[in-house]
Structure 1
Amino acid sequence: MTEFRCTDIRATAHRLVPEASGRIEEAAVRLARKYADHSLHDTDLLHAVEIAAAALPSALRKELIAFRDRGNDAGALLLTGLPVGPLPPTPDVVEKEPSWTEVPVATLSQLMVMSVLGRSLSYSDEKSGRLVQDVCPKRGAAERQENSGSVLLELHTEDGFHPHPPHFLSLICLRGDEDGRAATVTAGIRDVLPLLDAETVRVLREAEFRTRFSTSFVSDPSVEVLTDPMPVLTGPCASPELRVDFHGTIALTPRAQEALDRLEAAMRRTLKGIVLRSGDLIVVDNRRAVHGRTGFEPRYDGTDRWLRRSFAVSDLRPLDDQFSWGRSHRPVDTAHLRRLAPATATL
C-alpha cells in the first residue's frame, strides 16, 4: 500500500456563511428539543428533518439537487461551515460512542443535507444499525481496513459487496486531525474513464470479480465471505455505475487483474482530497465514486479526528421488505456465498 497524492478540493467547496450556519443550528436545536426521546429511526423525526431542511440556503439545496440528479465528474461534493454544536471527547472505544442527543446539532444538520439527496438508511449488520455512525480511531483497531482503523484506508465504494449498497454517503467532521495527516480522498468514474482503453472497460464490465464482505457483515470474522462473480462497471457507457474495493475485490482471471490494476492506477491519478476541518461535510456519490483516507497517528486522548457518517438511497420503496426495524436494512444472508479461510489465495 502506498499513500495517496491528491488535488485539494477546498477551493471548490460550497461555503456556508455564519448567518446561514446559524439558521441551520437553530432548526436543529428546535428538532432536538421536540424529539429528544425519539430514536433517529423514528419516521416522524425523519420527516421533520426533511421539512427542517428548508433552513438550508436555497443555493445549497439547488446544488445538492443537481448532484443528486446528475452527479459530477469527481463524484463528490464538499460543504463547509455547517454547525456541529458542543462536543464530548472523541470516543476511543465503541462503548463510549455517544447517542445522537449528545451531538444533536451535527447529527441533525447532516441528516438535513442527506434528506435532499435521498432517504436515510443504515445496515443492521454494522454499528448496531445506527443511522448516524461514529468514524474515529478505536483502541486495538488501528490496522483494520475499516472506519475504526487509522492506517491507510484503501479506495473503495461503500459496501460494494452488499445487495443494496447506499447511493450516497456523507462524512461530517466534528473534530479535525490536529496533525493534518488524515486526508479524505475520492475519485469519480467520469474523471477516470478517459484514462482507460476500450478493452479495459470491456473487461471491467464482465462478471470476473468477487468482493470480500466486511467482517461486520459475517458471523465468523475468521472466514472470508465473497460475493458471487460480478462486474466492476455496469450501466450507461458515459457514466457507468461502480462497485469495487481495492483491498477486498479479487480478480478471477489474469485479464481481470490487469483491468483492475489499470483502474486503480487511473483513479490514483485523478484523486481529489481534503483534510477535513470541523464543520466540513463531504458527500460521495457511492454509485460513481470511490473514497479512502490517508493514514494518521491517533492519540486516544479525546482529541482525535472524529467524523460521523450517514447513508441515503434515492427511493425506499424497492426496499420495503428489506428493513428489520426502522430504516435499518436486515442482515445479509451469506449462507449460500463462497467462504475461504483467510490464508487461502486460490479462487
Structure 2
Amino acid sequence: MKEHMMKTIFAKRLFDGENWLTNQKVTLKGQIIESVVSIEGISDAQAGHMEVVDFLAPGFIDVHVNGGGGALFNHTPTIEALERMVAVHAQFGTVAMMPTLISDDYEIMSQAHQTVCQALKQNMAGILGMHYEGPYLNPIRRGVHNESKLRKPTEGKLATLLEVSRSGKLMLTLAPEQVPEGFIEWLVSEGAIVCIGHSAASYDQARQAVMSGARGFTHLFNAMTPLVSREPGVVGAALQTDKPTWCGLIADGYHVHPASMRVAIAAKGCEHMLLVTDAIQSVGSDEKEMPFLGKKVLRSEGKVTTEDGTLAGSDLDMATAVRNTISLIGRTPAEALQMASLRPAEFLGIEHHFGRIKAGYRASLVALSEDFFVQSTWIDGRKVWG
C-alpha cells in the first residue's frame, strides 16, 4: 500500500531530459510522476515533508549489461542474478536495463529467456527485456566470445527465444554476413531490435542490413570492420545518417579513444549515440580476479581483461560513463545525460515513459552531485539507493 502513497522531491536544480530548471517540486504517485511544478523555494517546515536534492535528472538506461555485484547473467541466468544486477547498478544511477547474454549454448539461452520472461511477467522493477549478444557472430571479430558457442541460425528453436518481445523489449546483436537473406527482416517482424556487432561485414553488407531493418550498432568501433579509405566498413555504415540508427559507446577510455568518439559524434550527432556499460560482474564487487565464460579475467585500473589482454566486457558503470562523456569527450552535461537516458529510451521506443521528468512518465530518477556522482536513485517511484 505504501508504494502508492504520494511522495515529493524538491530539486534545487533539475534536468527534465531537455531543459534545465530550478526549484522544482516533483510529485510521485506510485510508479508515475504526477506533476512537476516550479516553486520559489521551501521553508524548513516544508522540507521536513519532502526529499530535498541538489540536482535531479532522468534515471539512466543501460541496454548492454552482462552482470554486476559478482553475478554474470551467463553464469547464473536466474531471477536472483537479475535482482542483484538491478540493485548494484542502481547505485550508479541505472533505473532500467537490458540484461545481456553473451554467446552461449541453447540451454543457457533458454534458461535466460525463461528468467527474463518471468521477470517481465512479475513486473520486476528495472528490467525492460533482454539482449542476446550473439551467437550469430563472426569468429573473426568474436572478441572475448567463445568461438565454440558461435553458430549460424539453422536451428528451429530460435522462434521460442523471441517470445520476450511479446511482453518486453528484445535486442539481438548479430553479424549480418553470418545470417541468411531475409533473416533480419524476419527478426524485425517478430519484434526484435536488430543490432550489428562482432562483424566482419563490408560497408555494403552493413548498409543492406540497415535497409533490412537493423537499427543499432553494438559498441561502436569494437569488434567490427573499421572505416578506412576505400572500404568504410561497419563503422562507416554506422555513421551514416539517412536512416534512423543508434550507436552504443563504451566511454571508459579503454574501449575507444576519446578522439574517435569525438569524431563519431561529430558525424552522427549526439541524438543517435547511447552510453552503454557492457559491464560484467566486477562492477559493484571488490574482486580482482574472477571466472568469465570458462576463462579467468583480471581487473585493474578500471578495465577487465583475460590473461592474454583481451578486453572482457567492462568495469564501467553509467554514472562514470556520463562523467567521462563530459570530461574525456567534451560533450555538455545535457548531452551526456541524454545519451544515458533519453537516447536509449528513443532507441528502445519507450521515450514516452522514460528519459524525461514530466507528468505521466515513470518515476525512475537519479539525484546527482554537481560533479555527477550518484546520491540517490528511484526506480518506479521507490527509492532504491541513497
Q: Structure with the greater relative contact order (CA < 8 A, sep ≥ 6): 1 or 2?
A: 1
Give the TM-score range, shorter chain: under 0.3
Q: TM-score, normalised by structure 2?
A: 0.26
Q: Would you tell me which structure has more strand in proportion to its own residues?
A: 2
Q: TM-score, normalised by structure 1?
A: 0.28
